[in-house]
Amino acid sequence: MMAYRQKYGVGRAIAAPQIGAFKRVVYMNTGTPITFINPVIHFPDDEMMEVLDDCMCFPGLLVKVNRHVRCVVHFKDLEWQDQTLFFEGDLSELFQHEYDHLDGILATMRAKDEKAFVIKAFGD
């Protein structure tokens, strides 16, 4: 993930299946690295937001999707201790995106409609 970030200037998280490791693991680095082992996500309410989602699987493509504004994640940490984190806004969207990868779901599969795709030139 860090090599991708260096090359493209983006990349805050990655799910194990994206690199061929078919495990339920997410790595996130938004300043402090954290590893989520066997995460379980739930949503404390039904409030949604519309976002332009991007993915390391298809650089330069943005997809308009709906995501929950807030989520709660239960997981094991690297010491195999139970942890719970609450995310809101962009971090909630980010975690939902990575969690989808654990189930083989890409942002393109969550597109709002056939007009939800935007090509972004690198450097923009």
d(CA 76, CA 95): 15
Catalytic residue among 47, 50, 98, 114: 98
Q: Is 98 a catalytic residue?
A: yes
d(CA 67, CA 115): 17
Is residue 117 within 8 Å of 63, Cβ to Cβ?
yes
d(CA 123, CA 9): 9
Residue with tokens 């200037």: 9
Q: Which residues are catalytic?
A: 98
